[in-house]
Structure 1
Amino acid sequence: MRFPRTHRDPVEVNLTPLIDVVFLLLIFFMVSTTFETRQALELELPESVSGAAAEATPVTLVIGASGEYRLGEHRVTGDELSEALAEQADQAREHGLVLEADGQARHAAVVRALDLAGTLGIRQVRIATTEATSTRAEIP
């Protein structure tokens, strides 16, 4: 006896919804991820192409590569810096303060000087730079 076989359609898996879900997950993770951009910045300080020369000011604070300070013509230690700058604060408020920091100076030494100038009410602070030898417009 022969039994009639029913003809079955082949089973197909529709991949379109799966691809849509994968793309949505990819977009979600791309939008919600934070990227670390600090590694892309390579700075060489101090150079300035568009900096303008400033008029001479009577108060100049020099920060050396090893963190030593020189206010005017006098060498000053880190502990004596607040007293020495306080003595010349009136002159610095009137004419401004120029910071001449070495390119290899520690950032903490420069921030300490800026913070001290701010606490003494010196609002006109300029950072001296040298003119750049080559024009670099590589700002990402």
Structure 2
Amino acid sequence: MQFHRVQRSRAQVPIVPMIDILFILLVFFIVSTTFKKPRDVLQIEFPTVNEIASEKVTDTRSVIAVDALGNITLDTLAVPEGLLETYLNAFQKQNPGRKLELEADRRLPLERLLKIWDALGKAGIPIKEVPARIKVGSE
């Protein structure tokens, strides 16, 4: 005697729609991804007096001193933020022919040092005529 068997169908997962969805997601991620380019970092070490051969200094110069926090003094006068160019112009009028010297802290950010050189240039003082001494100090 043969009994009628009910054939069970297997649960099938539709593969074709899944492939379409995965393809759409792949295209979306490719289009929306921004690729990062590796950037080179340049480490700058300021030279110290021990590293550079120097000549004996015979003339006296006024000092523009800058500490690690970026506070600027012109001789003994504290210069407020952003007014270095004005102070340099007034200094040149009061002391014609007097040369300057830059004394900066080693931990001073390069951006701050460039702003000081920019102010010197705007005040009409050639940067080549302003030697820079970098204070090593304690770290």
TM range (shorter): 0.5 to 0.7
Listed one character per residue, the Cα deviations across residues 57-104 of structure 1 (whole Å, up to 9, x for unaligned) are 332101110011011011112223222111112577734321111000
Rate the CA distance shift 1:91–1:37 in 2: closer, same or farther, 3 A: farther
DSSP-derived class of the 1:88 partner: helix
Listed one character per residue, the Cα deviations across residues 13-48 of structure 1 (whole Å, up to 9, x for unaligned) are xxxxxxxxxxxxxxxxxxxxxxx8954x54433414
Q: Aligned ranges for residues 96-135 of structure 1 at < 5 Å?
A: 96-123=99-126, 124-129=129-134
Q: Number of paired residues?
A: 95
TM-score normalised by L of structure 2: 0.55
Listed one character per residue, the Cα deviations across residues 86-123 of structure 1 (whole Å, up to 9, x for unaligned) are 11125777343211110001112211111111112212
| CA shift for structure 1 position 54 | 3.2
Match of 1:44 in 2: 45
Q: Is the 8 A contact 1:63 1:109 kept in 2?
A: no
Q: Aligned ranges for residues 2-41 of structure 1 at < 5 Å?
A: 38-39=40-41
For 2:95 and 2:134, the matched residues in 1 are separated by 19
Structure 2: unaligned runs, 5 residues or longer: 1-37
For 2:65 and 2:59, the matched residues in 1 are separated by 14
Rate the CA distance shift 1:93–1:116 in 2: closer, same or farther, 3 A: farther
Structure 1: unaligned runs, 5 residues or longer: 1-35, 132-140
2:67 is matched by which residue type in structure 1? G
> Which protein is bigger by CA-based radius of gyration?
2
DSSP-derived class of the 1:61 partner: strand
Match of 2:91 in 1: 88
TM-score normalised by L of structure 1: 0.54
Give the alignment's Cα RMSD to 1 decimal. 2.9
Rate the CA distance shift 1:109–1:126 in 2: closer, same or farther, 3 A: same
Rate the CA distance shift 1:85–1:129 in 2: closer, same or farther, 3 A: same
Rate the CA distance shift 1:108–1:92 in 2: closer, same or farther, 3 A: farther
